[in-house]
A and B are shown apart, each in its own frame.
Chain A
Amino acid sequence: MASSSVASRPIASLLVKAGPAIISVGLLLLAWELYASYSGIKPTILPAPSRVFEQAMLNREALVDNAIPTIRATLLGFACSLSAAFALSMLVDFFQPLRRALFPVFIVSQTLPLVAIAPLVVLWFGFGLAPKIMLVALVTFFPMLVALVEGYEATEAEVGQMLRAMGAGRWRIFVLARLPSALPYFFAGLRISITYAVVGAIFAEYAGAAKGLGIYMLNAKNNFRPDLVLAAVGVSAALTLVLFGLTVLLQRLAMPWERAGKETAGKRPWR
């Protein structure tokens, strides 16, 4: 096995793929930097990116210190919503009437404005971790549930018929066919809701917390330090990107057949 070529090729292709993104973000930052330096705008209104970066470095300990509770709330809340969504998706799959009974409730839960609900949850459950977990779970639960339920439904009817003919019961069919059929849907849902999760956690902290990126942003804003607000935004964006990347990585590991199929496309024998 030529392991070096296998390792270097993805990096090269990653650079090719990331190139346009790097250029566009770079140009944006450059334009912003030039505007901030030459328009005479005050740094307390719009700080230049260089200043944001400089202040982020100077305040890195505080930023890390405040990022940790946010990460914790995000991951714990997401884990809760994932387990709940999985359990409920199975229930819904086995007892279809439940779908009609429960989905309207969940759809309404998605229409609650976070601005209104976050302070209330903090009011009811305090400044601790619990309200953050609840809010993260609230915003991520429904997308995950829908992804799973629709994923089960995407199972090929013929596969089900074949398994029944083989003598498989409902549970066997679920484990052998419906669950794996849902994997692409599951990961699509995961990618969407992991980005909601970080926003949900920050919103919850914004409404009241001892520590966290949300409350850090609020305090920085109140102290007329937009540079530190933006530094915290940068940290949360980085955090979201890392989590997003992890889900992509996880999908590759969990679904090796996807890449295998793409790589051999066009190289197959004709019959």
Chain B
Amino acid sequence: MSRLELRHVRKAFGGLDVLADISLSVGAGEFVSILGPSGAGKSTLFQLLTGAEHGEGEMLFDGARLDDHGRHFAFMPQRDALMPWRRILDNATLGLEVQGIRRKAARARVAPLFAEFGLAGFERHFPAQLSGGMRQRAALLRTVVQERDMLLLDEPFGALDALTRTAMQRWLEQMWRHHRWTALLITHDVREAVFLSDRIYVLSARPARIVREIEVPLPRPRSLGGDAARQASALEAEILDIILNPNPSKGHDHD
């Protein structure tokens, strides 16, 4: 049963169509990615979901119209958005504090999770003292402890170097298998989308519409070798082709 459902969502900024027609759904415990080129309006979609912007069309959560936006989503922005003046522990409790939970209670709730997020011993550090990967894990920790219905991840690893990004993708896949969060990921990294997702929506360039919905039939845990890896590569190639040759019927791309 789908938790989040968007029907014909559209958004324009001052005459510029950003989202042309977006319909998608995310089921309970499902990891879904939205994959598209840069500037396609992927982040705009999250702005609609978090209530920062308003668009046309229907947005439903558990069958009810999405009104009180903060209630359903825990949002993780592109850069880690950790506050440099807060220690990691206090960054992690930020969402709980905004919810009105006392700092002490919030800390007690967050502290046991530090080991699982590979941050044990760094509770009292400032973000500037952590590596990029650790900062992203801290940002994800801050996101999941809010215990919302669904995670919105906006290119969470986009700012990391390639090696760290791969390590973080593996780590996230493993974390997801344990927790089965309902998650919507925005990315322009085809490999990342295939590696992490159950389903992928491929967006066109602006004005964005969904050009393809792709099931990822790969077994979990997602492995890096053997048949599954070959299958993943084939899928990646297919998706890349969809994105880079949006109108193959016209056939003018290669002349």
Residue on A with the closest CB to B50? A165
| Residues of A contacting B51 in the complex (Cβ-Cβ under 8 angstroms) | 164-165
Nearest-neighbour CB distance to chain B for A42, whole angstroms, equals: 58
CB neighbours of B134 from chain A (8 A): 269, 271
Chain A residues, Cβ within 8 Å of B207:
none
- For the complex formed, measure the closest distance between the CB of B152 and the CB atoms of chain A, giving whole angstroms: 8
- Confirm or deny: A162 has a beta carbon within 8 angstroms of a beta carbon on chain B: yes
> A235 an interface residue at 8 Å Cβ cutoff?
no
User: In the complex, A117 Cα to B52 Cα: how many Å?
Assistant: 48
Residue B36 CB within 8 A of the other chain: no
Which applies to chain A's interface (DSSP): helix, strand, loop or mixed? helix
Interface size on B, residues (CB 8 A): 38
Of B79, B84, B168, the residue contacting A257 (CB under 8 A) is B84
Interface residues in B121-155 (C-beta closer than 8 Å to A): 125-134, 146, 152
B167 within 8 A of A: yes
Within 8 A of A (CB), among B69-125: 69-71, 73-79, 81, 83-85, 94-95, 98-99, 125
The verdict on A97 contacting chain B, using a C-beta distance below 8 Å, is: no
Is the CB of A180 closer than 8 A to any CB of chain B?
A: yes
Least CB separation from A177: chain B residue: B83
Q: How many A-B residue pairs have CB under 8 A?
A: 92
Assembly CA distance A163 to B83 (angstroms): 11
Q: Which residue of A lies closest to B71 (CB)?
A: A167
| Residue A168 CB within 8 A of the other chain | yes
Complex interface: chain A residues within 8 A of B64 (CB) = none
- B130 touching A172, Cβ below 8 Å: no
* Residue B245 CB within 8 A of the other chain: no
Most buried by B among A167, A177, A271: A271
- Given contacts A162-B75, A166-B75, list 7 more A-B pairs with CB under 8 A: A161-B77, A163-B98, A165-B69, A166-B74, A261-B126, A271-B133, A271-B134
What are 13 residue pairs bridging A and B, where the CB atoms are less than 8 Å apart in the complex? Answer: A158-B78, A161-B75, A164-B70, A165-B75, A166-B70, A166-B74, A176-B98, A257-B84, A261-B128, A268-B130, A270-B131, A271-B131, A271-B134
Q: 10 closest A-B pairs (Cβ-Cβ)?
A: A261-B128, A167-B70, A271-B133, A165-B75, A165-B50, A158-B77, A257-B126, A166-B98, A264-B129, A271-B164
